[in-house]
Structure 1
């Protein structure tokens, strides 16, 4: 069977053995297995019962990244990272294309959002999240439709947690010569001139207006086995995050030592709001590929 469904989640199983698991809560991808290995990080302490956003996998950030910097922003009273990741989505079915790729669709409208959040951001919208699985790739596409009569602004981001054997050996390539906002040093702006990013301390950077569309997450393994390539689709910014020691210990849904085995590389549009006119649709996404 190419798909399995229960009350909590949907699983797609490719003929090659690769698989992906998506929870209805947040339409959060919690597992991507490829080449016999899990490729996404999910904290052992993550809540999977709908009591809070899932810590790991690929949560969907909409319509606000972090908390709004301006109290006057329309999204100012929304929770951290918005409402999509803490709402329950609808299952819209699966398509099978000649056994080469499996595609699942999930939907969220304003009427499905918890009432307290909807009061804070009473926009008429529809989100469609499309998950496509092949033998060695995972594609995620988010469609945002303005169903109202007035334009609205939003942020969107695919908060992807990669599973890595050893963070000290990881390097991220393709973001050199890009200016980033460093949230660790009070939002200072820095131009990254290094050939690659390595992680040896708390890292929380927003690379803005990234013109390159493809990056490499190098795990430092012999022959490049397990390396990821990330291709972003109509997403202009990229966030790189690892909580490191202190921040990891401060999070109740994240193990104290788990920072050693994860890194987030997150394509999105977060430094500015996308303005979406009434009855229009915006689309953005990513394609992840594993070197087997």
Structure 2
């Protein structure tokens, strides 16, 4: 007989306000309503995501940790106008929890937000006023899948979107395989190019690759595999030892391998249409 699952839904009105936690024999996951950010994924009880030690939910516009959602722009944006802050609007608002379910095999959460929630933020006027966003999250003992659907009911919408996972790894020994021979723009050194070998992570990296191939992150702490549908870009980022985004030394504990449609690979959602970006992270 299968044992009844452990299930927990937490809405702490103090420091953890808005945090949803689900757990079962498979492991656990936590998602914050602010930005629909996955803050923890522990398949088999072992954490797979990094979060900076000085991060507090709600204290910053985008956390350095977990898996933030970037939309409807990424980074500094692709257009001819200056964005007021990096990585878009949806990370800055609380999403509505549509459903949560969990058992001993997996957890499943769905959250949603829309342009009405972001309309008072700077930059929102550059996008249709009826955009809708739905995030579907499924986690089990070896795999985490996130699916972001953007709906533009009445107008064409040109958007950037990306998942921004902070993968817990030993950065000085880590490499990212799968992007060999793919062209990239390296914003860390203001150069373009490609490489025939896996990307070494132990340094400042800020690369946008022009294809979204499956990748594998390997280090002395283990390996993770990533793949996506509806993506046309991969971003590999680490601030390196001179970066100020995380406390001293913590750059060594993660790498961001991000999937989406950014820069020249932004996507057009036609009026009445949708775009689905789905990313899967698998623990080897």
Q: Normalised by the size of structure 1, how large is the TM-score?
A: 0.87
Shift of the 288–193 alpha-carbon distance from structure 1 to 2, 3 Å rule, reads: same
**TM superposition outliers: structure 1 runs of 4+ over 4 Å:** none
**Match runs of 1:1-292 below 5 Å:** 1-6=6-11, 7-16=17-26, 18-72=27-81, 76-96=82-102, 99-113=104-118, 115-117=120-122, 119-123=124-128, 124-147=130-153, 149-164=154-169, 166-186=170-190, 188-194=191-197, 196-210=198-212, 212=213, 214-221=214-221, 226-247=222-243, 250-251=244-245, 254-271=246-263, 272-291=265-284
**Is the contact made by 1:144 and 1:282 (CA closer than 8 Å) also made in structure 2?**
yes
Deviation string 1:32-70 (CA, Å, 9 cap, x unpaired) is 112221110000111312542111110001011111244
Larger mean CA deviation between 48-57 and 102-111 belongs to 48-57
Q: Give the 3-state SS of the residue equivalent to 1:284 in structure 2.
A: strand
Deviation string 1:235-281 (CA, Å, 9 cap, x unpaired) is 1110001101111xx33xx2111011111111111132211111211
**Is the contact made by 1:169 and 1:219 (CA closer than 8 Å) also made in structure 2?**
yes
Distance 2:127 2:208 in 1: 28
Distance 1:133 1:35 in 2: 11
Distance 1:114 1:49 in 2: 19
Distance 2:36 2:267 in 1: 21
Q: Could you tell me how far 1:78 is from its partner in structure 2? A: 4.2
**Is the contact made by 1:125 and 1:144 (CA closer than 8 Å) also made in structure 2?**
yes
Deviation string 1:157-189 (CA, Å, 9 cap, x unpaired) is 10010111x212111111101111100122x21
Q: Could you tell me how far 1:118 is from its partner in structure 2? A: 6.2
**Is the contact made by 1:88 and 1:113 (CA closer than 8 Å) also made in structure 2?**
no
Q: Give the 3-state SS of the residue equivalent to 1:77 in structure 2.
A: coil
**Is the contact made by 2:175 and 2:217 (CA closer than 8 Å) also made in structure 1?**
yes
**Is the contact made by 2:173 and 2:202 (CA closer than 8 Å) also made in structure 1?**
no
Distance 1:111 1:146 in 2: 13
Q: Normalised by the size of structure 2, how large is the TM-score?
A: 0.90
How many residues are matched?
272
**Is the contact made by 1:25 and 1:88 (CA closer than 8 Å) also made in structure 2?**
yes
Distance 1:208 1:184 in 2: 16
**Is the contact made by 2:217 and 2:225 (CA closer than 8 Å) also made in structure 1?**
yes
Structure 2: runs of 5 or more not aligned: 1-5, 12-16
Q: Could you tell me how far 1:71 is from its partner in structure 2? A: 2.6
Structure 1: runs of 5 or more not aligned: none
